[in-house]
Amino acid sequence: MALRIGDTAPDFVQESTIGPLHFYEYLGTSWGILFSHPADYTPVCTTELGVTAKLMAEFRKRNVKVLALSVDPVDAHQGWVKDINETQATEVNFPIIADADRKVSTLYDMIHPNASETVTVRSVFFIDPNKKIRATITYPASTGRNFQEILRVIDSLQLTDQYSVATPANWQDGDECVIVPSLKDPDILKQKFPKGWREIKPYLRLTPQPNK
């Protein structure tokens, strides 16, 4: 059964490039991003893992731990990591799960039989510190992910958890935000949004990003 937003992310123990990995223990109190790759030694995945490694400082700044998954075994992963480091001019410094028995892929519904019965699609799961799935993105094997969008989603989730706002279309960190429609009391609005707001319609009110 497909996992949905708000579901608890399943826990697991599986082999990885850093040894046996207990998912919940690895995440601890951090946010997590779990993303799957169709196979080792594939060109698109090689570029994706290289970009991920280069963005590790950005993930750490947001208290996010990342881990990748491929259905190949650990020894293949280790050789592939050397290729990634060489070709992408980086150092892979996060675990890659070796899901040779498809245990995790099955738990997270990463194999879509109408696309392929053997390899995973490019799934992305955003998981909060309470181990709840907060967002998902799924790409076909042929389309590489936009990691700036992944960071943008994390920024939005963390911002909207803390403040009574939502983020509009094409929002980037620092842009105006939307005040949630359920918030109507004028006194509370003034307290929560001391920088003020623009009312375009009663249900569409824009305010400067509260934490900037």
Identify the pLDDT of residue 37.
Answer: 86
Identify the pLDDT of residue 9.
Answer: 97
Going by pLDDT thresholds of 50, 70 and 90, the confidence category of residue 4 is: very high
Is residue 117 situated within a structural domain?
yes
Pair (121, 58) in one structural domain: yes
Measured in degrees and rounded to the nearest 5, phi and psi for residue 150 equal -65, -45
Question: Domain boundary residue among 145, 180, 196?
Answer: 145
Pair (134, 176) in one structural domain: no
Pair (41, 97) in one structural domain: yes
pTM of the model: 0.93
Tens of pLDDT, residue by residue over 104-160, are: 988 998 875 555 544 555 789 999 999 999 999 988 888 899 999 999 999 999 999
Domain with 196, as residue range(s), is 163-207
Is residue 58 situated within a structural domain?
yes
* Residues designated as active site: 45
Query: What is the average per-residue pLDDT within 27-41?
Result: 93
Pair (114, 18) in one structural domain: yes
Q: What region does 109 belong to: left with phi over 0, alpha with psi -120 to 50, or beta?
A: left
Residues ≥6 apart with Cβ < 8 Å to 4: 133
Average pLDDT, the chain: 93
Pair (132, 169) in one structural domain: no
Pair (79, 180) in one structural domain: no
Q: How many distinct structural domains can be found in the chain?
A: 2
Among the residue ranges 62-66, 97-101, 113-117, 183-187, the one predicted with the least confidence is 113-117
Pair (136, 171) in one structural domain: no
What's the rounded Cα separation, in Å, for the pair 204 and 211? 20
Pair (24, 64) in one structural domain: yes
